[in-house]
Structures are given as C-alpha cells and as structure tokens.
Structure 1
Amino acid sequence: MMAVSDLLPHGALKGVKVLDLSRILAGPTATQLLGDLGADVIKVENPASGGDDTRQWGKSVAEGADLTPYFMSANRNKRSLALDISTPEGQAIIRRLAAQADVLIENFKPGGLAKYGLDYASLRESCPRLVYASISGYGQTGPNREKPGYDLMAQGFGGMMSLTGEPDGAPMKVGVGIADVMCGMYATVGILSALRHRDLSGEGQQVEVALVDAQIAWLINEGVSYLNTGQTPIRRGNEHPSIVPYGTYETADGHVILAVGNDSQFRRFMAFLALEGLAEDPRFATNPARLENRGALSDILIPALRRHKTQAVIDAMEAAKVPVGPVQTLDQLFETEQVSAREMVIEMQASGKNVRLLGNPLKFSRTPVTYRQSPPICGANSGEILATEHPFKDH
C-alpha cells in the first residue's frame, strides 16, 4: 500500500480550475478523476440538505463527520464550499467562481439551473473560455429529457439489465453503479477534449452526456450485433455470446473462471480433463461448432470440473497457457500482492482518522496522479474559498 507522501506534488492537469456543482456519483466520479490528475476542484454543496446526498448513504467512518464510504469513494482531491445557489448571494458567488474556472460541471435536470441564471446559455457570454459539462439522466434533448436519472433506471432503460443475469432468472443490474461511473468517464473524456480545443482556439463550449446514452454505448458488441442481425440477445449468465467455453464454472471447492479463446487452448484444456477425444469431436473441434453445441459441451464440462479443486485447475491451466482465474471476494482481492504492486489502495487522513481508499488506475511516467486532499466534511473549506477574490489554487 502506497503512502500519500510518496507521491510527487504535481499532475498533468496542474493549474486547471474546476467548479463542481454535481452530486452523487457520475459527476463526482469525473471531478475526482480531474482532481487526481492535478486540477483544483471546488465542490459546491447545499448546506440546507446536508450536502451531497451520498453523505447520508451509509454509516460515517468517523464520529461526528459526514464521511460515508460512498461519499469518500468519489470525492477526494476536492474542497467543499457550502452554498445555497437559490439565493442571489449564492448565485453571485457561483458567477464569480465560474469566471475564474476552466471547467464547470453540473448534473441538474435539464434547464434546472436556468432559473438561477447559471445555465450554459446564461454564462456563455461572460465566461467565453469556460468548458461547461452537463450530466443528466436522458440528455438535454428528446422526449425523456425531463425524467430524473438514476443508475438503476439507466441500466434498465439502456438494455444492460436485459443482458445480465442467469438465463432463467430475473434481469439483473451490475453490482455497482456502473452507468453512473461510465457516464463520469465519458464526461471526463469530453471535458479534456473541450479543454484541448479551448487551449487551441480560446473558445469554450458545452459538453453534454446522459446516463442512458453512456449505457447504450456500453452495449458494445451486443448492441452492434442486434443492430445488424435484428436478433435480440438473451441473458447467458457468465457465459460469452461468441466464445465457448468461456465463463464461471463450479469446482470441488468453489468456482473458477475459464476463457478458452481458441481451438489450441481448447485442446490443452481437454487434455487436463482427460477428455482429449472431445477436441477431435466435430461438435466441439472449432469454436463455431462449440457455439452450436454449447449445451452438449456444458453437460460434459460441468461434472468434469467439479472433480477438481479451484487451485488445481488454476495451476494446470496457467501451466498450459489457457486463460484462467479465480472469483475473489473483496477480502481475498485486497490481500493480493498484485493490488499492492499496482498501488490500488491508498491511505489518507479524513477528519483525524486514517481511511483507506481505492487508488487511481492511471499510471504516468512523468506526471503521476496525486492525492492531496482527503474527502472533505461539508463546507470544510468555505472560509478559505470565500475569503479571497481568487480562491482557486495552482498547486
């Protein structure tokens, strides 16, 4: 595990100033990533509602502090400004900060900031260099633009739930808010692209992304397959629509993942199971044949694998160079040397308490990510931000 002090005090986005009007997960995911890359992020929170909704989603890690694991997962490298933007005073402060910012990000309902004069159309003339990022459930256009956006709704409307789960089971969401997270990632890419354009042209612009749009884009091969064949894909549990055998299989003491991607790997896999004859069987000799006879092959493989322990399968398949892996619980995952080597757990001080957070997966040879500011208590930085005409930092 890496200590914060081991990191260099700079980043690729040093000097970029971000005004964050977003909450919950999609927007905060984007702004935390920008902060990790070196940007100075001021997070605006409504004190009347207790700040970001996720401050109440679970039990705080520190007594007397509004720091839940959910909130902390997406809000490091930010300073918190408690501000009521429904008041004229609050709106004036946002306009002043926006005039100094490079990026403003918000996830209000489409048109929700117009009544405060804080929408893109209202700020464009006074802040011509501003990159204004808007995140919403369905987007700024279309018949559903007024509907609220939540991750579960996006996974359902966007088709992902129809693909996830056991074939005979109910549609299933992904275990974390992946629609929110992917929307935040797309928003980050859009913001960085708009900053590049701004730096070349001097011209800011609005970047707009919707949870549902991001979820539709995330359908990748299944979406493109349907569009070109007209065949609605079915749920296959952990199996692959185009490769067999590929999935999670029960062993004598647990489960193992196998991803047999070509015919030579299949032959080596069959040799381990002492089922060499199957590799020559016309029903199973090629991947297209195995796809056609998926059920028949599964009827043979499932009982054969149940005779072996998980680690024995992993050891044998690694030796045979057949893709294989475990299904780990989080306690197992975070004890692995791989997690430590990749610095995917960090420690910070939050409200006087040591907390452990997930590390940023980006690795840079010249401008590493930095962890400068622990997730803040709501309004913790209001005094220092409001006390100066130029509150953004260059680090």
Structure 2
Amino acid sequence: MSVTYTDDGELMAAPADVDSALGGVARRLDRFFDERRVTAREQGPSSLALWDALRDSATGGKKIRPRLVLNAHRLLSGVREDAACDVAVAVELLHTAFLVHDDVIDGDTRRRGRRNVIGQFHVDAQQRGASEAASRAWGEAAGILAGDLLIHAAQSMVGRLDLPSSIRVPLIDLFDESVMVTAAGELQDVGLTEGVLEASAVDVLAMAGRKTAHYSFRMPLRAGAILAGADAVVATQLDEFGHHAGIAFQLRDDLLGVWGRAEATGKSTSSDLRRATMTPLLAHALSTPVGEELRHALGLVDPRTFDAERARALLAASGARETMEQLIADHAAAARAVLERDLLPVELQRLLADTLRSARERSS
C-alpha cells in the first residue's frame, strides 16, 4: 500500500482498490440524488430545489468517513464489497445531514466556501421579495427538513441491505447509536456556548467526543468491522482508536477555526469567535488570567465590544493554543498505543496510522 502526503500533511492517496470503491460511492450518491429528484419534481419546485441544494451540500469534501468504512472492511478481509459501498454512502449522507443541522443551529449560510442549504433558500426568498425575517425562516426550515430527510434516507439505506440479520441489525443499531450520541453532543454544545450549562474543560472535551469523534471515526470503523465479520476484540480496538483520533481531529478543527486559512478551510476564521463557540480551546482560555478580558473581546459582556483580532491575540496569550496542541499530541499518542497492541492486520495498522497523522496535522 502506498500513501502520499502533501507538504501540509494531507492524506493524498488511498489503496488503488479503495479509490475504485470510492468512485462507486460517488456514482451511488449521484444515483441516489437523481432518484430523489424524480420524486421531488412531483411535489413541486420547492421540493426539487431542496434536493438540488442537498446534492450541492454532499458534493466535495475529503470523504474521510466513507474511506474509513471501505478500508476497515477490506483490510479486515471483508468480502461484502457491494454492501460496504452502500454503507459508505449512508455514512456520507448522515455526515451531510449533521452538517446541515449544524448550520441551522449556528445560523451559518455558507459551507465549504459556497452557499449552503440555508443560504440558497434565504437568497431565493429574498429574490421573491420576502422580508429578511421571512427569508431567514424559509432558509432555516429548509435546513431542518433537509437534514431530517437525509437521516431517514441513511437509516433506510442500511435497513434495506440484503445481508444476514446478524450483520444488518448491528449496523442499524450502530447508526441509531451514532444519531443519538451526536444529537446529545450537539445539544450539549449549544448549552455550553449559550451558558446554560457550566463550561468546565472536562465537559467541553467530552462534548467534542460526542459531537464529532463518534460519527466521524468510531462509527465508520465499526461499520467496516461489522461488515467484515470481525470479532469483538477487533471492534473494541477500532472503537478506542476512533475515539482518540476523532478528538485529535476535532481539536485541530477548533484551532483551524481561529488560526486557519479561510481559503483552505472554506470557513471564516471569525465565525466561531463571533459566536463564542465553547470549544476546549476557549474553555481553557476563559479559565486563565486573561479570561475576563477575553469575554469582553468576544462580546460576551457587551456585543458592541466584539473584536476578533483582539480575541485571537488573547487566546494566544492565554497559552490555550499550546495546551490544545499538547492535547492533540496526547490523544494521538493514545491512538498510536492502541495500534501497537498488534491485534489488527498490519496493512490496517499502517493505514490508521496515516489517517491519524492526517487528522492531527491537517490544514483544512
């Protein structure tokens, strides 16, 4: 297996057979949206526009989660290639649903450098002459419904797999678990950011594990293992690796949200600051001597005092950036320690080590 990185540490290549399978995932995604468009056309132009916006939302990205499903299945000697492709598609649909719902919660109108579902419907309403309030409501309703549709579609896709119940039922349970865990993490995220819940560093880090690590790493790896018929020891090891790799991934995402390059991330580096999103980075900084000054710079005391550059400088001065880098290193070390138990096939160990490096060092 050959793996290549860019200068920024991005994972560039997967095994050739997985690249081929990812092509199959892309084709199945296209077919899925084509079929939905046919049905949506019968429901009227707004329904059709919703599915077109959803297709846009599912286009692009690194397809990290489908890669994990396919690689785990194949490198654990799985033979259910067709089912693995379908599960990879379902995982990507679930990921898109969570992003759309996250945009609704955060009030974002752009994703990956372009208008998201909310933004497209917001603009559509404005072009129809609707008020700003009506346009916002139209966009948010579209986002809520779009996410709901994709969650249902992902679950339905897994439920219809032509597999023995001993495989299909655990997959359905895994998807159900992932939706519940992610929803709990998202709700906790809002509670922490809005000050409804006490923002201790421990609770904020646990939230990151629920909101991102589970569905981005733990679930895809376990899905591949279930499809391959792997034993419980292997599944547990993959789950533990996914937990640590997923937290490292999210902590890096938090740093990129403040100090990343917008042209690389497709996301503003001031939006998290303006919302004062309660990340482990921010929770730590608020607990330091600069915490009160940081609260003012974030506009938490008075919205008129918001100053992104000042907030960024205070975050750096607090030592929070270095603390997060150390946390990333600690979780990466814990993930590597899992691989060193040598319970996984050598090729899968190598691939997961490469995935960990990409998660830890990525720039977008």
TM range (shorter): under 0.3
Higher helix share: 2
TM-score (norm 2): 0.28
TM-score of the pair, normalised by structure 1: 0.26
Bigger CA radius of gyration? 1
